[in-house]
Chains A and B, each alone.
Chain A
Amino acid sequence: MKEEVRNLTTQLAVIGSGIAGFAASIFAVRRNIAVAQIGNTGAVAYTTGYLDLLGKEDGSPAAVIDPWQALDTLAATQPDHPLAKIPAADIRRSFTEFTAFLGECGIAYGKPQDHNVTALTPAGTLKQTLCVPATMAAGPRAYAEKMPCVIIDFNGLKGFSGRQVAANLQDRWPGLTTERIGFPDMSHGEIYPEVMARALEVPATREKLADLLKKAAGEAQVIGLPAVLGMHRPDHVKAELERLTGLTIFEIPTMPPSVPGIRLREMFEQVLPEKGVTLIPQQKVTALSFDSGAATLCLCDSFGPIRLRAETVILATGRFLSGGLEAGLTGIREPLLDLPVTQPESRAHWYCDRYTDSRGHAIHRAGIEIDSSFRPLMTGGRPYSERLFAAGVILAHQDWIRGRSGAGIAIATAYKAVEAAERFLSSSSSS
Chain B
Amino acid sequence: MMQEQTIATEVLIIGGGVTGAGVMRDLSLRGLHTLLVDKRDLCAGASGGNHGLLHSGARYVSNDPHSAGECRQENELLKKLAPQCVEQTGGLFVAVEGDDPGFAEYFPHLCRQVAISCEEIAISEAKRLEPHLSDRIFKVYRVADATIDPFRLALENVAHASAASGSRYLPHTEILGFEIADGEIRAALCRDTRTNSLLRVVAKQYVNAGGAWAMDISRLAGCTDVNLLYSKGTLLVSHDRMTRHVINRLRLPGDGDILVPGGTVSVLGTTSVRTMNLENIRPTVAEIDLNVKEGAAMIPALATARYIRAFSRVRPLLQCNLGDDDREAKRGFALLDHTSQGLANFCTITGGKLTTFRLMAEKTADLVAARLGNNEPCTTTSVPLPDGEACRWTEPGASPKYWYHANNADDMILCECEMVPQSAIDEIVKGAPGAEKEMTLEAIALRSRAGKGPCQGSFCGIRICSYLYDRGYYRDASGLRHMRDFFNERFKGQKTVIWGQQAAQMELAEALHCGLLGLDTLEEE
Contact = CB atoms under 8 A, between A and B. Distances in A.
15 contacts: A50-B516, A121-B516, A123-B480, A123-B517, A123-B519, A124-B480, A127-B516, A163-B470, A256-B508, A327-B503, A346-B285, A354-B491, A355-B488, A356-B519, A406-B511
Most B CB atoms within 10 A — which of A61, A163, A188, A326?
A163
B465 A121 contact: no
A253 interface: yes
A188 B520 CA distance: 36
A25 to B, nearest CB: 23
A126 B518 contact: yes
Interface in B468-506: 469-470, 472, 474-477, 479-480, 483-484, 487-488, 490-492, 495-496, 498-500, 503-504, 506
A406 B514 CA distance: 12
B414 interface: yes
Lowest 10 A-B CB distances belong to which pairs? A189-B409, A355-B491, A164-B469, A327-B503, A161-B466, A348-B285, A320-B503, A356-B520, A125-B518, A161-B469
B469 A163 contact: yes
B225 to A, nearest CB: 35
B515 A328 contact: no
B524 to A, nearest CB: 10
B477 A167 contact: yes
Most A CB atoms within 10 A — which of B469, B476, B507?
B507
Contacts of A190: 409, 412-413
Most B CB atoms within 10 A — which of A161, A354, A357?
A161
A356 B410 contact: no
Interface residues of B, number: 56
Contacts of A319: 507
A96 to B, nearest CB: 23
B172 interface: no
Interface string A107-141: 00000000000000111111100000000000000
A22 to B, nearest CB: 18
A48 interface: yes
B282 to A, nearest CB: 7
Nearest to B282: A353
B409 to A, nearest CB: 3
Contacts of A255: 459, 462-463, 512, 516
A125 B480 contact: yes
Nearest to B502: A327
A354 B488 CA distance: 6
Contacts of B488: 354-356
What is the interface of chain B mostly: helix, strand, loop, or mixed? helix
B289 interface: yes
Interface in A180-203: 188-190
Contacts of B276: none
B522 interface: yes
Interface of A: 46, 48, 50, 52, 56, 61, 63, 121-127, 156, 158-161, 163-164, 167-168, 170, 188-190, 253, 255-256, 319-321, 323, 326-329, 346-348, 350-351, 353-358, 361, 363-364, 400-402, 404, 406
Contacts of A253: 516
A46 to B, nearest CB: 6
Given A123-B518, A402-B520, 10 more contacts: A61-B521, A158-B463, A164-B466, A255-B462, A255-B516, A319-B507, A323-B504, A327-B498, A355-B510, A402-B515
B284 interface: yes
Contacts of B480: 123-125, 168
Given A346-B285, A402-B514, A358 B520 contact: yes
Contacts of A121: 516-518
A348 B499 CA distance: 11
B406 interface: no
A159 B517 CA distance: 12
B525 to A, nearest CB: 13
Contact of B517 (A122, A158, A350): A122
Contact of B474 (A167, A329, A406): A167
B286 interface: yes
Nearest to A123: B517
Contacts of A46: 508, 511-512
Given A61-B521, A348-B286, A167 B516 contact: no
A77 B149 CA distance: 52
Contacts of B519: 123, 125, 356
A360 to B, nearest CB: 8
Contacts of B462: 123, 159, 255
Contacts of A61: 521
A61 B522 CA distance: 9
Interface string B400-418: 0000000001101110000
Contact of A161 (B470, B498, B507): B470
Contacts of A156: 410, 412
B232 to A, nearest CB: 15
Given A125-B522, A320-B504, A356 B514 contact: yes
B517 A329 contact: no
B355 to A, nearest CB: 32
Nearest to A189: B409
Nearest to B471: A163
B86 to A, nearest CB: 34
Interface string B445-468: 000000000000001001101110
Contact of A160 (B466, B474, B491): B466
Contacts of B477: 167-168
A417 B6 CA distance: 70
Contacts of A351: 495, 498
A351 B496 CA distance: 8
B463 A347 contact: no
A158 B286 contact: no
A48 B522 CA distance: 20
B27 to A, nearest CB: 39
B469 A401 contact: no
Contacts of A124: 480
B507 A158 contact: no
A321 B285 contact: no
Contacts of B513: 355-356
B285 A164 contact: no
A48 B412 contact: no
B510 to A, nearest CB: 5
Contacts of B475: 167
A62 to B, nearest CB: 8
B412 A127 contact: no
